Amino acid sequence: MTNPLFQFNQVERLILSNVSFNLNEEDRLVIFGPSGSGKSTLLHLFNRMDDPEKGDINFRGDSINQFSIPQLRKQVGLVLQQPYLFQGMVEDNLRFGPDLFQEWDEQLAYRLLDYVNLPNDFISKSVDELSGGEQQRVSLARTLANKPDVLLLDEPTSALDDQNIAAIENDLIDLIERRHLTVVLVTHSMDQAKRIGTKGLYLEEGEIIEQGSIEELLEEPNTPELQAFLNRS
């Protein structure tokens, strides 16, 4: 039996308390719960945007601390809620990560734009010319430029309109399937959780209340806490 890709063992950080779970290759884990329950704090532990105060996190069978932060973030990429792009051209953003590892290839730029359904001529556009949906696509492409195995998504469509949400979700699902990515998604949308996720982890006040199949969690919750949350959502 293969080892889990990630193992969280009794992890504590800020509001998080005694968080333990495994993430396997090609899982699509949705982290959800009320505001302030620790969702983003947990997500940021995966690529050391933050570190635990207690407990252990293992990646590929070794302590996450054994990996340099650049190497870890190359393998475990993060797409934020707001697309914080660097000033300059789209190409400047796409080549930033690969340049750190001397891996930039001009043809990669066009493949990345294709991945996120943007035309080739966007390569020379200024980021200031882009719409919100286009900026989020470039942000996703910039993360994909490092060829990560794990994609961390922190409410990546919450700032977009319905049309852009549907388009980016479709692109994400296609990418995940084509590239066999492992995904960890924080979302407030239970419809999005159902569309993208295969597994779920429900947090409340920093503790895991339920975890398992996302479909079962949303359709047949076992705890009063999750039942009450779904009734409110």
What DSSP string runs through 187-222? Answer: -S-HHHHHHH-SEEEEEETTEEEEEEEHHHHHHS--
Average pLDDT for 41-69 = 95
- Looking at the domain assignment, is residue 129 inside a domain? yes
Number of structural domains (the chain) is: 1
Average pLDDT for 40-61 = 95
The pLDDT score that the predictor gives to residue 2 is 67
The range of the structural domain enclosing residue 59 comes to 6-232
The pLDDT score that the predictor gives to residue 82 is 78
Rounded to whole angstroms, the Cα distance separating 218 from 13 reads 27
- Looking at the domain assignment, is residue 215 inside a domain? yes
- Looking at the domain assignment, is residue 67 inside a domain? yes
Q: How confident is the model at residue 81 (pLDDT cuts 50, 70, 90)?
A: confident
Element (H, E) at 58: strand 54-59
Rounded to whole angstroms, the Cα distance separating 206 from 19 reads 8
Task: Express each pLDDT in 187-229 by its tens digit.
Answer: 999 999 999 999 999 999 999 999 999 999 999 999 999 999 9
Q: What is the pTM of this model?
A: 0.89
Burial 45-84 (b: 16+ CB within 10 A, else e): bbbbbbebeebebbbeeeebeebeeeebbbbbbbbbbebe
- Looking at the domain assignment, is residue 158 inside a domain? yes
Q: How confident is the model at residue 137 (pLDDT cuts 50, 70, 90)?
A: confident
Amino acid present at 104: W
Q: What is the CATH number of the domain that holds 213?
A: 3.40.50.300
